[in-house]
């Protein structure tokens, strides 16, 4: 059993970690903090956990790193970088924020509008996208968990960039559910605004773009990336449009993705356009595509709180701890 702590356990990402780790056969939840709910029973804040967890939230100041094997940081952007310098040599750290995803301090500040207060620790963190970075993750003690949009786009485009199938720019249209805005109310996540609506935000400036550019070589195949707030709660639906550098049939496109992902449990090729309904509450990414006259559309869908956050974080924990990668995560999506 590994003793697990969660800093920021009352946010949506932290709550999703609790739901997963309660079912994990090799994890013991030993410590959970919350800024807003310190001293309250977890089940009082999340009644869905009544009878499953009798712990209370505590304050961040009670953290004793030596008592933990794995520490998940599910904190707002800018907070993890203030904690990590105090944890050298202590537990495995898996950070769900963007604090350690981007190596260049200037680029981090440009996209996150925050100064990078611990740049010397960036080199200690491995980018935690298992399907691309598995061997490095297994050997790591510090993981920067990828962003939800970045996960959807990187898994959709990685085979095409690696094989140089793309000619010219790639245009990305990515939509997210309201849970991506977090548990604290904000104008963009406010239900009366999002219900029955669709609107763009952060044109050319979304914070997940630089982590995508660190993985893909966009020097000759640039990326134009636009995000939208959609009127559903969970999910990412990303559409990727491009011209191909070679002739390719639908079968050849399928074979390319099978080459890269046929052994990946959490990446599923679908013969038609994927649907966010069929990945919700799961760690799966569904990818589909269509091609005609030298053009290609690739779609990817995932649950932003699972494969886009907490599920992927547990997948990384499994890799580091030597467990089966699917442990605690192998359940199917739920629908409706």
Token pair, residue 38, equals: 């310190």
Q: How many whole angstroms separate alpha carbon 103 and alpha carbon 116?
A: 10
- Dump the DSSP string for 17-54: HHHHHHT-TTEEEEEEE-TTTTTSBHHHH-GGGTTT--
Which residues, in sequence order, are bridge partners of residue 170? Answer: 223, 242
Q: Are 277 and 260 in contact (CB under 8 A)?
A: no
Task: Identify whether 148 is a catalytic site residue.
Answer: yes
Catalytic residue among 96, 148, 215, 314: 148
Q: How many whole angstroms separate alpha carbon 123 and alpha carbon 103?
A: 7
The DSSP output letter for 122 is: G
The answer for residues whose C-beta is within 8 angstroms of residue 155's C-beta and 6 or more apart is: 129, 131, 132, 261, 267, 285, 287, 300
Q: Are 208 and 151 in contact (CB under 8 A)?
A: no
Which residues, in sequence order, are bridge partners of residue 56? Answer: 41
Q: Are 230 and 176 in contact (CB under 8 A)?
A: yes
| Active site residues per annotation | 148
């Amino acid at each position: 059993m590994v003793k697990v702590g969660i800093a920021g356990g009352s946010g949506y990402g932290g709550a999703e970690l609790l739901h997963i780790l309660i079912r994990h056969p090799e994890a013991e939840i030993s410590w959970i903090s919350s800024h807003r709910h310190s001293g309250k029973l977890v089940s009082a804040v999340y009644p869905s956990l009544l009878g499953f967890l009798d712990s209370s939230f505590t304050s961040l100041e009670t953290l004793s790193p030596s008592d933990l094997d794995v520490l998940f940081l599910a904190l707002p952007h800018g907070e993890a970088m203030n904690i990590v310098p105090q944890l050298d040599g202590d537990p495995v750290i898996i950070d769900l924020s963007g604090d350690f995803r981007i190596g260049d301090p200037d680029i981090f500040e440009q996209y996150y509008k925050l100064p990078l207060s611990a740049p010397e620790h960036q080199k200690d963190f491995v980018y935690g996208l298992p399907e691309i970075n598995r061997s490095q993750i297994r050997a790591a003690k510090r993981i920067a968990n990828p962003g939800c949009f970045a996960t959807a786009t990187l898994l959709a485009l990685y085979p095409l960039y690696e094989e140089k199938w793309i000619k010219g720019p790639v245009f990305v249209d990515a939509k997210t559910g309201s849970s991506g805005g977090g548990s604290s109310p904000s104008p963009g996540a406010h239900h009366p605004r999002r219900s029955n609506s669709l609107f763009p935000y952060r044109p050319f400036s979304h914070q997940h773009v630089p982590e995508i550019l660190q993985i893909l070589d966009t020097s000759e195949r640039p990326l134009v990336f636009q995000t939208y707030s959609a009127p559903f709660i969970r999910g990412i639906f990303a559409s990727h449009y491009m011209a191909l550098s070679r002739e390719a049939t639908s079968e050849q496109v399928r074979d390319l993705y099978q080459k890269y992902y046929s052994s990946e449990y959490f990446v599923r090729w679908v013969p038609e356009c994927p649907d966010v309904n069929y990945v919700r509450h799961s760690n799966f990414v569904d990818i589909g595509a269509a091609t005609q006259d030298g053009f290609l559309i690739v779609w990817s869908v995932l649950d932003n709180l699972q494969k886009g956050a907490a599920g992927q974080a547990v997948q990384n924990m499994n890799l580091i701890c030597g467990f089966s990668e699917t442990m605690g995560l192998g359940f199917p999506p739920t629908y409706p």
